[in-house]
A and B are shown apart, each in its own frame.
Chain A
Amino acid sequence: MKSTWPGGRGSRVQWVLSRRALLGAGMTLAAGGALAAASPSGIGGRGSGSDLLGNAYRMSSGRVVSRIPDLKWPEGVRCVVNVTLDYDAQMARVSNKEPRLEATEGEFGGRVGIWRLLDVCSENDVGLTLFLPGRIADLYPSSVQEAARRGFEFADHSWDHPAWAEIVTLDRDQQREHLRLTMERLQSISGKPVIGSRWFYALEDLVDNGILYESMGLADDMPYFVTEQDRSVVVLPLGVEHNDAMYWKFAWLRSEPQGQRIADAQSVGKIWLEAFREVHERGGYLNILLHDAVGGRASRVAMLDKLFKEMRNAGGVWFATCGDVARYCHENYAPGRSG
């Protein structure tokens, strides 16, 4: 089993930064694993080819992104697949003031879709990780309790999935309060610590609350670390092409009506199987993101069932939870640990 690095596969590394959180930040690539300070211009000035082989870089914000160049999976594991589910139901739609009949699509997720996705993961012995807005536990308590009963992992996905315009108005205290409320609620249901988050919280707040991983962004296609002031979390990368909403959600990210190309399930299954084959061959990592509202429709669940079976048949696949992968990385590859 061999892992290769993005720096080794081409002349340029494309750093795809998560959503808006990191956009606009200047960055400097570091050479040979050493960290370079950001240049005053904010535009990296040392971009020779060899710099691109470095394992870490420091953002102008001070955040350090470090890859794990020698990442090897546990004995017998050829590649890792994380199936993650953002259980939003109608939370985001209500926050975004979608029209009433549009928000009913979110209700489909809570009434119907979530149960099917829990089932298809159980039936295929897939270690599902649910990213939950804390208040979902109030809207759909039965399904959240059932997910806990089945042993699936819970991770933070904000308190009530506020709209972007609202997120940016929350001060740090409010953000910390949301994170605390969500973690408390989820832990009270699962009886297990919440160690993951997929939201926009400050890294300091995540780590100080015991969060070990987050799952947005694609600075690498293997798990990597981000560090600020000696606090590190694992990032479990996520590509937009592995997000079901991109194929199936009308008006996704405010796209215009004429921009819609709703896909059939088999086309998406074909793309994801192809992605998996490459990851399997290379010994890599794949994060499939599902949403209850769109991913829970009948034909799409039938597709997932088939996809999971084909993945399992390939052999050597670890259908881990995100927590499994994050703990493994922290235990074996924490920054500074092995020099």
Chain B
Amino acid sequence: MGWKAGYTFSDERSPTQLRWPNHAVCAVSVVVDLSVPGGSDGIRPADLETTEARYAFDVSLPRILALLEQNGIRATFPVPAVIAQSESLSVERVISRGHEIAAHGLRHEDVTALARPDEAARMDQTIDALSALTGRRPAGWYSLARQKDRFPGGSISANTIDLLMGKGFKYFGNSQADDVPHYLVTDPRRPRKLLALPYSYSCDDQFFVSFPPRPGGTNIERILTLESIWNEELEAMIGTEERPGFNRVVTAVIHPYLNGWGHRLRVLERFLRKISRRKEVWVPTGSELASHWFSINPPESIEIRKSLWRDAPGKVD
């Protein structure tokens, strides 16, 4: 058996004693997922004509952009290639405000079962579509979950990470293996590593603000819980007089098709205002966060020990 094969993506222990720019004690990354609901094949043309899709691009997005601007925050926008093509005016508006555009699949489809050549071709198409719009290759690739997915971690295939390395991506956007950036290792023999940025579904609005109508349920509008979690995570990272902070990264993920008015917008407004005013907080884009990580923990710094993972006797394996 190889290096903890099938078990481990990253090295054994996360680095501590981190330093952030501008004497900040922690970082908050704001991610605005520009996807809209689609099927397992991802977003189809009809999915852009739903009321929630129109709301997302025509009403909600301008308001979210205004909020970000008021608070001087530059966010990271994962954009599926089909959105870059069909909603190019919206995406151009995002670019013009100085936000980062990251790749989010061709159609934000489930790639788990794709053959390697097919997946590679879709990746190329995605890079081309985003490059045509932004004038540069995307640095980051996200694979965020869709709201009705069985698991909230997002989908990758056995080849995704390796393909992203081959295509020169600077970072992968959402891994849950840490609450700071960390390196994903696909082959320990000739170490190929890709930086991953931290993600946790507990800070992603789509799991708090809307649920399928059937079987439905009671009290399923829970954005105030999300607000509480955002604040708790932020305070735990900053620390209090009694307890030092954990000094790490909070990744707040929002979806314009779910969050653009009323109490939800107020929650977002309060959080953005808070992180922009607290001097302990650094608010980088994905690419800025990755660059800083390369400077404090370069890829060579990670420790991949020779396999301690012994084959167990007999039937256990």
Q: Which A residues form the contact surface with B (CB < 8 A)?
A: 90, 94, 98-102, 104-105, 107-108, 110-112, 115-116, 135, 138-143, 159-160, 174, 177-178, 181, 248, 250-251, 257-267, 297-299, 301-303, 305
Contact = CB atoms under 8 A, between A and B. Distances in A.
A101 B154 contact: yes
Q: Is the interface of B mostly helix, strand, loop or mixed?
A: loop
B45 interface: no
Contacts of A142: 12-13
16 contacts: A94-B6, A100-B9, A107-B9, A135-B312, A139-B7, A159-B312, A159-B316, A177-B316, A261-B222, A267-B225, A299-B233, A299-B235, A299-B236, A301-B236, A302-B232, A305-B243
B90 to A, nearest CB: 27
Contacts of A111: 10-14, 177-178, 182
A301 B243 CA distance: 11
Contact of A262 (B176, B177, B201, B310): B201
Q: What size tier do the contact residues of chain B reach? A: 35 or more
A102 B12 contact: no
Contact of A251 (B150, B202, B220, B235): B150
Interface string B154-186: 111010000000000000001111110010000
Contacts of B117: none
B309 A138 contact: yes
Contacts, number: 158
Q: Which 7 A-B pairs have the closest CB atoms?
A: A101-B153, A299-B232, A298-B236, A107-B177, A264-B228, A102-B153, A104-B177
A243 to B, nearest CB: 17
A79 B113 CA distance: 53
A246 to B, nearest CB: 14
B77 interface: no
A302 B236 CA distance: 6
A59 B104 CA distance: 56
B305 to A, nearest CB: 9
Task: Give the most central of A98, A101, A115: most B CB within 10 Å.
Answer: A101
Contacts of B175: 101, 104
